[in-house]
Amino acid sequence: MHTRSTARPSSRRSTSRIAGTVSVAKARARFADTIDLVRTTGQRIVLSKSGKRAAAIVPIEDLDLLERLQDAADIKAARAALKAPGSPWDEVKQRLGL
């Protein structure tokens, strides 16, 4: 498997955490090794298909962080929508006489 940087423990956070780009075919052929590399080093593997970046395998901690960030953005957007004049919440309150 081709890698572009040295392995790092998963507890480290760095801006350069991409272990390398690997074709989907190579990753499939060495799936367990690919997963172990991500799990043990905390690095990300970019998968390419037909020479183009197609997907990535990331440590579970990265996925957890992404989900928390998405949840926070959704909550912020929902709060803003509830405060906006003419929102459905305003209509419900008006119908209920609140």
* Strand 44-49, strand 52-57: pairing: antiparallel
Q: Which residues 6+ apart lie within 8 Å of 23 measured at CB?
A: 47, 48, 49
What is the residue-averaged pLDDT of the chain? 83
Q: What is the pTM of this model?
A: 0.63
Q: How confident is the model at residue 12 (pLDDT cuts 50, 70, 90)?
A: very low
- The model's pLDDT over 37-80, given as tens digits with 9 standing for 90+, comes to 999 999 999 999 999 999 999 999 999 999 999 999 999 998 88
At 40-51, the pLDDT tens digits run 999 999 999 999
Please give the full DSSP string across 28-53, using - where no structure is assigned. Answer: HHTHHHHHHHHHHH--EEEEEETTEE
Residue 89: pLDDT above 90? Answer: no
Query: How many other C-beta atoms are found inside a 10 Å radius of the C-beta of residue 37?
Result: 21
